[in-house]
């Protein structure tokens, strides 16, 4: 199952939440923990977009955890992010396929139980 993880408050917008989900890399392989990145983009604007941090985060995941990233969920990605996505996606290469655009409602229903939904998504 999924569990909510650390992150910062939602007042700055674009706060990242990370959860760990179990998975396997093959039928004979031992269980491998994978990262599920949940990015709340509901309050994202040009004023609070930290492109340097996004670049650092992507570089860190690729460099130190290349096989651990299971999926990245972009919650309510609209406006400036929708405009920037065609520029960002090619930089992600094959990892761009791990990105899923999702609504807050879909996130609650598909990734959390009523008891584990973070307050930001209630």
Residue range 5-25, pLDDT digits in tens: 433 333 334 444 444 444 444
Helix (H, G, I), strand (E, B) or coil at 16: strand
CB 14 within 8 A of CB 39: yes
pTM flag (> 0.75): no
Q: Which of 29, 31, 32, 37 is CA-nearest to residue 6?
A: 37
Give residue-wise pLDDT tens across range 72-105. Answer: 899 998 877 778 888 888 877 887 888 899 999 9
- 38 - beta bridge partners? 17, 73
Phi, psi of 74 (to 5 degrees): -105, 105
Q: How far apart are the first and last CA of the chain?
A: 19
Q: Tell me, rounded to whole angstroms, the distance of Cα 87 from its chain centroid.
A: 18
CB 65 within 8 A of CB 35: yes
């Amino acid at each position: 199952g999924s569990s909510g993880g650390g992150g910062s408050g939602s007042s700055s917008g674009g706060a990242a939440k990370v959860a760990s989900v179990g998975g396997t890399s093959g039928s004979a392989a031992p269980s491998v923990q994978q990262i599920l990145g949940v990015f709340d983009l509901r309050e994202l604007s040009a004023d609070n977009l930290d492109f340097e941090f996004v670049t650092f985060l992507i570089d860190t995941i690729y460099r130190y955890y290349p096989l651990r990233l299971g999926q990245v969920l972009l919650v309510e990605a609209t406006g400036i992010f929708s405009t920037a996505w065609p520029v960002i996606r090619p930089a992600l290469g094959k990892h761009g396929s791990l990105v899923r655009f999702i609504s807050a409602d879909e996130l609650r229903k598909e990734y959390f139980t009523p008891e584990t939904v973070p307050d930001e998504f209630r």
